[in-house]
């Protein structure tokens, strides 16, 4: 279903995490407990770059993407995944921000892409793939759920296909499967997924068509350039939290008026959960009877929230945006709220735009093959000299954003601030920063200029 098998992807992520741990422990071991921690530039770079990844593409609307993540929680509760669809030219990019533990985000990051990609395969082809491919790739615990979903898809037609509905069905169906698995096969593994939760954002890019499906408070921002060369940040998502008036009204409309003062208390769902949409978190979805039977014996009475009267209170139905890409759209930034807590959408677009321009000066100067005058060479050298002042420290745009998010000041990145933020003790680091996961997708302007919509 993906050009990268789940096993290979897991091995790559595991190896990067091990690299980060080695770098972090080496860096923090340099300091005595009595003095303030000070990391060298080498140590900082080692920590920031441990999880970075770049992938290039040839042909299509996507040229490449940069991704990276930096942990605050231990283990990190964020996950990310990327996949290319075999039967379409589409690419899938996902950011998953877990809470109450990493179990739910890890599971949906591996399973949601497969549910979406299966929905994009023609039913006849899907039947053949089910015989030859899917069963062997899926872990035994989830094989039954996926096979049932895929079997149902083979009985559908592509007539009236709507990408919006496909994405919505994949999100909702996976969430239903997570619930059913925990109810029918209760175990430490299925219950750890059911009792934790995750917000999720998936971008699907196929030619000029960009769809973004979001549940929770991850965000997607499009970087667009105007005729005058000015950057514009276009936000493609809404956060599903108590700051979103429309989301609050939706939630209140689904419950009796007598619960108006209890559904959201202290800006949280039932006074406990910040996002108003999420996958997992079945303690806010199951009936009270189900919680008392399945959850209370293991986790205690406190698992049932106060004023838990008319569940479900939480939805996994995504909000979906469709955007037609143009040559002015240069890149897409998707990230967990660990980034957006520290900078605005406009700041991120400016940083990536400047990085995109400055990155060209990381390459050696090459002269054109045709004849060129000394005056033209002089002009090239003058331009390059000016550009070298804007040369970024990082080749990876996601790393560049993390560096600025943690160490940025009005005068640029301050090493002492960055060093401090990266060497905070594990027992207090979460008070100062959250897990940060970022993917920056670059678009091919020439392709978008010539492709039909």
68-119: pLDDT as tens digits: 999 999 999 999 999 988 777 889 999 999 999 999 999 999 999 989 988 8
pLDDT at 12 over 90: no
pLDDT attached to residue 118: 87
Spatial contact of 324 and 443, defined as CB atoms under 8 Å apart? no
| Residue with more model confidence, 417 or 122 | 417
Rounded-to-integer distance, Cα 75 and Cα 198, Å? 15
Tokens of 241: 């939290």
Can you state the percent helix, strand and coil of the chain, rounding each to 5? 45, 20, 35
Band (371; pLDDT cuts 50, 70, 90): confident
Q: What is the mean pLDDT of residues 429-435?
A: 95
Main-chain phi, psi angles of 61, to 5 degrees: -80, -15
pLDDT attached to residue 121: 80
| Residue with more model confidence, 12 or 217 | 217
Paired with 69 in beta bridges are 437
Rounded-to-integer distance, Cα 431 and Cα 138, Å? 38
pLDDT attached to residue 428: 94
pLDDT at 18 over 60: no
Residue 292 CB contacts under 8 Å (≥ 6 apart), including other chains: 304
Band (385; pLDDT cuts 50, 70, 90): low
pLDDT attached to residue 222: 98
Rounded-to-integer distance, Cα 428 and Cα 202, Å? 31
pLDDT at 412 over 80: yes
Q: What is the mean pLDDT of residues 345-358?
A: 93
Spatial contact of 89 and 60, defined as CB atoms under 8 Å apart? yes
Rounded-to-integer distance, Cα 30 and Cα 168, Å? 49
Give Cα separations from 186 to 19, 100, 175, 210, 447 (angstroms). Answer: 35, 18, 16, 38, 50
pLDDT attached to residue 265: 96
Rounded-to-integer distance, Cα 278 and Cα 273, Å? 10
Rounded-to-integer distance, Cα 319 and Cα 191, Å? 27
Please state the pTM of the whole predicted model.
0.85
Q: What is the pLDDT of residues 114-133, one digit of tens each?
A: 899 888 887 777 666 555 44
Give the CATH architecture of domain 37-450.
4-Layer Sandwich (3.60)
Paired with 97 in beta bridges are 78, 199
Q: How many CA atoms lie within 13 A of 342 on its CB side?
A: 21
What are the extents of the domains in the chain?
A: 37-450
Band (392; pLDDT cuts 50, 70, 90): confident
Nearest to 112 by CA among 170, 163, 165: 170
Band (375; pLDDT cuts 50, 70, 90): confident
pLDDT at 388 over 60: no
pLDDT attached to residue 86: 75
Rounded-to-integer distance, Cα 103 and Cα 109, Å? 10
pLDDT attached to residue 154: 85
Rounded-to-integer distance, Cα 73 and Cα 71, Å? 6
pLDDT at 24 over 70: no
Spatial contact of 357 and 336, defined as CB atoms under 8 Å apart? no
pLDDT attached to residue 139: 66
Query: Is 127 exposed, middle or buried, given 0-12, 13-18 or 19+ CB atoms closer than 10 A?
Result: middle
pLDDT attached to residue 380: 64
pLDDT attached to residue 362: 55
Spatial contact of 200 and 217, defined as CB atoms under 8 Å apart? no
DSSP structure string for 5-35 = -HHHHHHHHHHHHHHHHHHHHHHHTTS-TTS
pLDDT at 151 over 50: yes
Q: What is the mean pLDDT of residues 52-58?
A: 94
Band (451; pLDDT cuts 50, 70, 90): confident
Tokens of 134: 């899917």
Rounded-to-integer distance, Cα 426 and Cα 99, Å? 17
pLDDT at 20 over 50: no
Spatial contact of 47 and 30, defined as CB atoms under 8 Å apart? no
| Residue with more model confidence, 225 or 13 | 225
Spatial contact of 334 and 306, defined as CB atoms under 8 Å apart? no
Rounded-to-integer distance, Cα 90 and Cα 207, Å? 7
Range with the largest mean pLDDT of 26-40, 131-145, 433-447: 433-447
pLDDT at 244 over 80: yes
Q: Is 130 helix (H, G, I), strand (E, B) or coil?
A: helix
Average pLDDT, the chain: 86
| Residue with more model confidence, 72 or 8 | 72
Paired with 139 in beta bridges are none
Give Cα separations from 227 to 61, 62, 305, 331 (angstroms). Answer: 21, 22, 53, 16
Rounded-to-integer distance, Cα 397 and Cα 352, Å? 6
Give Cα separations from 407 to 168, 203, 420, 423 (angstroms). Answer: 38, 28, 9, 12
Residue 422 CB contacts under 8 Å (≥ 6 apart), including other chains: 27, 39, 43, 44, 47, 48, 406
């Amino acid at each position: 279903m993906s050009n990268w098998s789940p096993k290979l992807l897991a091995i790559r992520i595991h190896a990067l995490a091990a690299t980060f741990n080695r770098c972090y422990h080496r860096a923090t071991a340099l300091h005595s407990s009595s003095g303030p921690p000070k990391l060298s530039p080498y140590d900082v770079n080692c920590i920031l770059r441990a999880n970075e990844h770049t992938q290039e593409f040839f042909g299509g609307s996507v040229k490449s993407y940069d991704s990276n993540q930096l942990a605050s929680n231990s283990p990190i509760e964020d996950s990310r995944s990327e996949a290319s669809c075999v039967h379409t030219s589409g690419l899938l990019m996902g950011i998953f921000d877990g809470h109450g533990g990493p179990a739910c985000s890890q599971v949906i990051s591996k399973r949601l892409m497969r549910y979406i990609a299966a929905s994009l395969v023609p039913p006849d082809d899907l039947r053949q793939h089910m015989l030859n491919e899917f069963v062997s790739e899926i872990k035994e615990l989830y094989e039954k759920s996926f096979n049932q979903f895929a079997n149902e898809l083979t009985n559908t037609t592509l007539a009236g296909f709507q990408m919006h509905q496909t994405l919505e069905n994949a999100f909702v169906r996976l969430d239903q499967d997570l619930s059913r698995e925990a109810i029918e096969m209760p175990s430490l593994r299925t219950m750890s997924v059911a009792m934790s939760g995750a917000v999720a954002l998936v971008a699907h890019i196929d030619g000029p068509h960009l769809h973004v499906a979001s549940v929770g408070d991850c965000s997607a921002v499009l970087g667009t350039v105007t005729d005058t060369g000015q950057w514009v940040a276009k936000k493609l998502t809404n956060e599903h939290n108590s700051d979103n008036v429309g989301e609050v009204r939706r939630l209140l409309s689904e419950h009796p008026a007598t619960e108006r003062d209890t559904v959201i208390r202290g800006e949280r769902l039932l006074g406990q959960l910040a996002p108003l949409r999420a996958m997992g978190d079945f303690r806010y979805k199951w009936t009270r009877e189900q919680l008392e039977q399945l959850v209370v014996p293991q986790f205690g009475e406190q698992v049932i929230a106060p004023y838990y009267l008319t569940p479900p209170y939480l939805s996994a139905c995504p909000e979906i945006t469709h955007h037609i890409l143009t040559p002015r759209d240069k890149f897409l930034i998707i990230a967990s709220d660990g980034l957006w807590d520290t900078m605005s959408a406009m700041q991120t677009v400016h940083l990536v735009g400047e990085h995109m321009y400055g990155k060209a000066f990381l390459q050696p100067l090459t002269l054109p093959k045709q004849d060129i005058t000394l005056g033209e060479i002089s002009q090239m050298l003058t331009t390059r000299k000016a550009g070298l002042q804007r040369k970024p420290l990082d080749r990876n745009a996601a790393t560049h954003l993390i560096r600025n998010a943690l160490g940025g000041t009005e005068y640029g990145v301050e090493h002492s601030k960055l060093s401090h933020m990266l060497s905070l003790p594990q027992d207090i680091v979460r008070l100062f920063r959250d897990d940060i996961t970022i993917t920056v997708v670059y678009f091919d302007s020439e392709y978008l200029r010539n492709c039909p919509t």
